[in-house]
Amino acid sequence: MNSKSLSPNSISLMHYLMQNETIANKVKAAGKEGKQYAIYTIADDGNVTLGETKYPFWNRLIGCKFTLTFTQFAMSVWDALADLSTSGNQEAILKGLSKEIAEKAQRETEYNWVVERLVDCFRHVCNNKTTESRLEGCPGKSGQKIGSDPVIIRDQNGSPVIININANNNRRTFRFPDATGEADLVFELGVVGVSCSKH
């Protein structure tokens, strides 16, 4: 895989980071001055597009969007992590993490490594009180509300991912909602693997 191409897990982790209000605000502040952004999308190449309306189509049509490079996104998160830390932890992030991001994101384009490093710092170094968010995410094609909880799980064709679980011959199907949250979790219960034999 090209090091500039984000893995699905890395995109999920970027969504996870964006659930934190401080991080989301720093990323939004990296857009056009004075603009308010309602949603964001993450592309496979790491670019993060901020949209002024909650509809990606309208954002594209009338040009009310702003795209950050992956490095700009990473540096915005770094800035937020510094604000979320104190004393020695803050100093380590300010002096150490910025150099790592510059080297890995800018010079070596190891985007997946950078995402994992940012998440590690957020979880273990920052003095944040947030609870763990759900890590399910999507390949970054649909709009996600900034600082919101909706989960996006879609396949390459943009269709909701279906997860089938077969436990003790009882089938349970889980269909996850899209970014708008219009579809709730759907359960389909049924019996599978039934057969009859003649005596």
CA distances from 124 to 24, 107, 150, 172 (A): 19, 26, 25, 36
Average pLDDT of the chain, as a whole number: 75
The per-residue pLDDT for range 142-155, each reduced to its tens digit, is 566 665 444 445 55
What length does the chain have?
Answer: 199
Residue 180 confidence (pLDDT)? 39
| Residue 199: burial class (beta carbons within 10 Å; 0-12, 13-18, 19+) | exposed
Residue 62 has pLDDT above 70, yes or no: yes
Residue 128 confidence (pLDDT)? 57
CA 6 to chain centre: 11
The per-residue pLDDT for range 18-55, each reduced to its tens digit, is 999 999 999 999 988 888 898 899 999 999 999 988 88
Residue 70 has pLDDT above 90, yes or no: yes
Closest by Cα among 9, 100, 153 to 17: 9
Residue 47 confidence (pLDDT)? 94
Alpha-carbon span 144 to 14, nearest angstrom: 11
Residue 140 confidence (pLDDT)? 44
pTM comes to 0.64
Enumerate the domain spans of the chain: 8-145
Query: Phi-psi bin for 130: left (phi > 0), alpha (psi -120 to 50), beta?
Result: beta
Closest by Cα among 24, 126, 108 to 68: 24
SS3 174: strand
Structure confidence at residue 72 as a pLDDT band (50, 70, 90): very high
SS3 151: coil
Closest by Cα among 151, 177, 174 to 162: 174
The per-residue pLDDT for range 76-134, each reduced to its tens digit, is 999 999 999 888 888 888 888 888 888 888 788 899 999 999 999 998 888 654 434 43
Residue 97 confidence (pLDDT)? 85
Tell me what the mean pLDDT of segment 156-179 comes to: 55
Closest by Cα among 120, 83, 88 to 101: 120
Query: Are 59 and 65 in contact, with CB atoms under 8 Å apart?
Result: yes
